[in-house]
Structure 1
């Protein structure tokens, strides 16, 4: 009989790629969608006949219990949250309700309604905030520096506590920044690849960015969701960092994106201090030693391949308009 999986955050970047992966593997896939999000199904429109949409909300525990009872999933992936860091400063309480307390409600619903389900919690490198070591490992202390990171830290430790207290098969994947053509344009990677494509096509003439020397650990969202699935196939639950294991600067990203369209980036890109973030004294870079050794997982796409893939996607999409 086919395995069943429930995905929260189905309409997001990761949710849509995970749904694709699970459908390919023969799963019966259910997606938890808030009624207010039901119109925003663009990323999964091609899966509409293969994924069953169920209405529920992380703010409402009874709806979570109903959905888990109805779908009776073997695996539950919680990818839903308020995930835009700047917004967490203007809406800190709402961020806490969804990103932190929503996980408590979900864990408690699993404990009561389907305690044998395997649970994946999307943790985040933002839990490290200003880490005291680089690269970070699964043992690095949490020092979040924004409300989103604080909420993710709460959710992470609740997941670990439910595993220890109730014996739930619950795992946390500490994901670093991961990108794809389905990424929102408010995020710097997509902002740059889209701008390069638009400038190449004469649809734009310049790009303003913040600190070009800021460095990030970027990987491909498809690689990340594969790691999530692999984590739930192990005999014992555990927590893992999901990352590329290397950093690149925003400057490298700009150079690579504009090289893909045959342009000199220095003719189009200017620095605007308004886009600067606070100083980052220690680099956020994830060690993938543990996930590599224990789960035999490695990213399949290089930084350059990811940039090229996204620029090509934006060029094609814009050319078809």
Structure 2
């Protein structure tokens, strides 16, 4: 199942980015450290071309540190890319970003000109909080709801860096089903975009495989459940998420699991690894190739129909 979630302001944002990008020296892309692959907007790579890029793995305090290390090494294989794990809970980490910018664009320092940067990222990855920390004042509106920033703004950080902020842009369609669910699990897309219980079951299934001990410890479970459904039922029983008659309230149990993952109460968990991303990229390429073949076939049939009509006329 592919999700589509593309508010009108995002289409406008893409056009504005295309107009400004030629004047930009460096791109800063903010990713969710728990889902660096799924939160990496392919549109950013298309728009930035060969410009240097800093990839900030934000919310690293919520992610598995070992997996985050794998991601940094993986992302830095790309030419001109520097990756760094940060958390906005530690402002000192954020304030190191200007130094990273100067290292990647040293020629601007030599000629004593401002480094023109653009900060980009999907909704709800903490981009606005990073901007406010860098500026030392509240400039960008923050919030846990996706798509808080809706217009582009230019900010002079007064330290030799000028920052162009952009609205959080999610690509028009997420073709990778697993990425769709991960975006929903972390709250990057609104909870109304997908069935809530389905999202929780996706998370539950992964947690059982990747972090069984943390799940058992958090929810005081003695015997590991065999399925995502059984885990949600067990959480419901342990936390009193019950309907009249003693039936488990799956929606309430789903809310508990997702909320406690998002807030870090379960522990430091990552939802994907570089190895998983490599496998999924191949699958996405296959899906895209099939779609392109279908599009070309449809176009060919349309031309044949038009040709037939002309001959009949």
TM over 0.5: no
Structure with greater Cα Rg: 2
Q: Return the structure number with greater helix share.
A: 2
Higher RCO, Cα 8 Å, sep 6+: 2
Q: What is the TM-score when the length of structure 2 is the normalising length?
A: 0.30
